[in-house]
Structure formats: structure tokens, C-alpha cells
Amino acid sequence: MTQHPGKSPRVGLFATCLMNVFRPGIGFAAAKLLEDAGCSVEVPDAQTCCGQPGYNSGDFDSARALARQVIELFEPFDYVVGPSGSCMATIRHDYPALFEGDPNWSARAQRLAAKSFELMSFLHDELGVTRVDAGTPLKRKATYHDSCSGLRGLGIKGQPRALLASVEGLELVEMQDAEVCCGFGGTFCVKYPEISEKMVDDKVANILASGADTVLGGDLGCLMNIAGRLRRINAPVRVFHTAEVLAGLADEAGIAGRTEGAA
């Protein structure tokens, strides 16, 4: 831990828009992991979206409008942490770029960027967490999908794997092309559905070939894409966010999993 000996760092939890709607459990898992690591967690309820959909659609003005909102809301915290490499890469890399040369916002964007982290890298690299207490041992063979923004934008690769290694009963196997995009790409998947389907099919083929019964990852967009495809083809593979497994909250149906009957 880098600061506040004896005082718990105040973390603003960035509730990503997909998590907030589709998988609140990830938010509670993130809060539990942060609190277990000694942080005090708050969830500002005026937060909406990081602005990435606008940025990646070329609407930089809208992205800036959302970015200003996030900066103002999260500035008071010691850290901003979110369970998504994608949203947190937007705050860390894109905010400073969006406000480059802006006398009012550039420094504020850079300050926020410097204290904003994706959950796994924050736990592992900033807080020095190496083991988690995931509760009841899991009997799962899992494979980890490296989401692109986290992997290439934030260097997230070893951290989730290291933390997952401390989960009793969990066997981690590497699939072929774990680092290749699953075809989600935000609005890409609805703008170019056929290409996206081809890409997620390639991903699913690698998942099935790995022999894993569980897929883990750090970005809900990718996980919804993979899980939605697995469900459509009736593949008996469950999908969880890494945080859910680490927090011992992966005992229910996976993402897009059947809520009745066996998976």
C-alpha cells in the first residue's frame, strides 16, 4: 500500500454501466475484495458512464461532457477503482488525451487518471494483495480470456491469474489465443454482427477446446458476448467475472446462465 498507514484508503467504486444493469453481483464482489484489502468503499450514485461509447464513435464532445462529470464526481476520492479494464483504460488513457491543452481540465484529467485503476491491478499491484479468501473451495476448471483494453491498455495479464491461483479447488488452463479479441468491441458487435459472430465463434471454439467448464475475464462486455454465444449454442460452460470468483460469489448461475435446471 502506498499511503495512509493506519488509515483505510477511500475508494470510489466506478460502477460500469453494463455491470450496473446486467450483473450487480460483480459490483458487490469488487466492494468485498476492496474492503477485505482494507479500503473503505463508496459508490457515488450520480455516476452514469465513462463516456467511451461517444469517444469510440468519434463523438469527442459528448465523451468530454461525460468525462467532466466523472472527474467532478470522483475527484474527492483517494482512488477510483472499477471492475473493468475497458472503462478504467478510458479514464486512465483517454481522459488526458481528450483534454490535452485544455487549461481548465487537463490537469484535473491527469490527476484523476493517475489514481484510477482496474480492480485486479489495483488489488495486486497497488495494494500488494496476493491471496484472497474465496470461501468454499470451488471444483472448477477455468480458462481466462484476456480482454483487450485491460491487456494492452493497462498491462493486465498476470494479476488476475496470480489472484486466481489462490482460489482453492480452481484449476486454471490456458486456451489457444487467449489474447485475441472476442468480437465484442462495444458498438462493433451490433454494427457488424456477422463479423462479431465469426470472432466470438473462434473464441468459443478455443474455450471448448481447452476443456474448461468455466470462463473468467475482467470485462463484462466481453463476458456477455462470450456467455451469450455459449448459451445460444447450448454449450455447458459457465461464465463469471474474475471478481465474482475471487470474492466467493460465483456459486449461482453464470452470466447468461440458466437460472433453472443444470447449465
Compare residues 71 and 167 and give the one whose CB is closer to other proteins: 71
In the complex, the smallest distance separating the C-beta of residue 168 from other proteins, rounded to whole angstroms, is: 27
Report d(CA 150, CA 87) in Å as an integer: 9
Stated as kind and residue range, the H or E segment containing 221 is: helix 220-232
Encoded one letter per residue, x for contact with other proteins by CB under 8 A and - for no contact, window 52-81 reads -xxxxxxxx-x--xx--x------------
Beta strands in 120-198 (DSSP E): 140-145, 170-172
Which residues, including other chains, have CB under 8 Å from residue 161's CB and lie 6 or more apart? Answer: 144, 172
Check binding of 36 to other proteins (CB under 8 A). no
Compare residues 76 and 137 and give the one whose CB is closer to other proteins: 76
Q: What is the dihedral of CA 257, 259, 261, 263, to 10 degrees?
A: 10
- Tell me 257's DSSP state: -
In the complex, the smallest distance separating the C-beta of residue 13 from other proteins, rounded to whole angstroms, is: 8
Compare residues 65 and 165 and give the one whose CB is closer to other proteins: 65
In the complex, the smallest distance separating the C-beta of residue 212 from other proteins, rounded to whole angstroms, is: 19
Q: Which of residues 92-151 bind other proteins (CB under 8 A)?
A: 148-149
Pairing type for strands 40-42 and 79-82 reads: unpaired
Q: Choose the stretch contacting other proteins; rule: CB under 8 A; options: 104-112, 120-128, 167-175, 221-229.
A: 221-229
